[in-house]
Structure 1
C-alpha cells in the first residue's frame, strides 16, 4: 500500500502506485543578497500516481512521461491535490471521490492528442481538500473493459481529511 501525505491506495494486483511531493523552491530569503524575500514561493502539493505498468521516476503531475508509454490495456491514474484554500468551492464544489464510467472518457480530454488513448478528468473536494482525478486508458475502443479496472484502483484510494492530517502533524 502506498501511503503518504494523507493519500493512500491499496491497489489491485498488477498496479504500481507512488505518492510524491515535489520539493518546493529553495528558501533564498535567507541567502545574503537574495531578493526572493518578496517573491512568491512555489507551493507543492501531494500527487498520487497509479499505473498498470512501471512508471518512470521523472513524470509530470498529470502523467507526462508516462501516458506516452501506455499500451492498449494500460491505465494511468493521477490524483492531484490542489490544497485546502480552494476546497468545497467553485470547480471543487462536488464532494467525494467521483465515480468513473466509460461514457466519461474521450480522446479529446488529453492534454495533447495521442492516438488511441482516452481520458477523463474530475474536480472535487474530500475532507476539506481539493483534488483533480485524471484517468487515462490505453485504448478508447476498449474502454468498456478498462474503466472497471480503473474503478477498482480509484475505489482503493483513501484520503485523510484536513483536520486529521493537521492533528497528525502532516501537511497536505
Structure 2
C-alpha cells in the first residue's frame, strides 16, 4: 500500500494501482465588455483525485472521459471532485461524510457519458467543509459484484480534511 495525501485529500492505494490528486490550471474569468473583471469573479482551481487499477494517462478529465471508454471488464475508476466551500451543506451536497460504495449503487444510466457495458455510481456529499462528488465506474456492469468490493475497499480509506487557504 502507498499513501496519497494532497490538498486535504488522503487515500491508501494498493501498490499495483495508479492514483493522484491534482489541480487544473487556473482559468482566467472572461472580462466584462469594458475589460474589468466580473464582480465576484476569482481564479479558482480545485483538487481532483483520480484512482484506477490500471495506469492513468498524464492528462485526465475530471470524470475520466479519457479512461472509461477503454476500460476492460475488471477495471475500476474513481474520481473525487472538489466543488469547494461555497457548495458545502447546500441541498445537493447535504449528505455528510464520505459515502460508501456497494454494487447496488451502480447502474448503466449513471454514467457521465454512456459507454456500453460500463456502470457507474455518483454521490454528492460534504466533508472537511467542502462539497464533493464521488464518481466511480466499473468496466462491466455484469461483473460489478466482483469489482465494486475491490473499489470499495480502496474508497473506504478516503479521508478528507479542511484545507486552510
TM-score for both structures, normalised by structure 2: 0.89
Could you say if the C-alpha distance between residues 85 and 27 of structure 1 is closer, same or farther in structure 2, counting changes exceeding 3 Å?
closer
Q: CA RMSD in A?
A: 1.9
Residues in 2 aligned to 1:38 and 1:53: alpha-carbon distance in whole angstroms: 42
For the residue of structure 2 that corresponds to 1:142, the secondary structure is helix
Alignment size in residue pairs: 160
Aligned partner of 1:19 in structure 2 is 21
For the residue of structure 2 that corresponds to 1:91, the secondary structure is coil
Q: Which runs of 5 or more residues in structure 1 are unaligned? A: none
Following superposition of structure 1 onto structure 2, how do residues 17-166 of structure 1 map, counting pairs within 5 Å?
17-26=19-28, 35-38=35-38, 40-161=41-162, 165-166=163-164
TM-score for both structures, normalised by structure 1: 0.86
Larger relative strand fraction: 2
For the residue of structure 2 that corresponds to 1:156, the secondary structure is coil
Aligned partner of 1:9 in structure 2 is 11
Q: Which runs of 5 or more residues in structure 2 are unaligned? A: none
Of 118-127 and 10-19, deviating more is 10-19
The answer to whether the 8 Å contact 1:8/1:19 transfers is no
Larger relative helix fraction: 1
The answer to whether the 8 Å contact 2:30/2:38 transfers is no
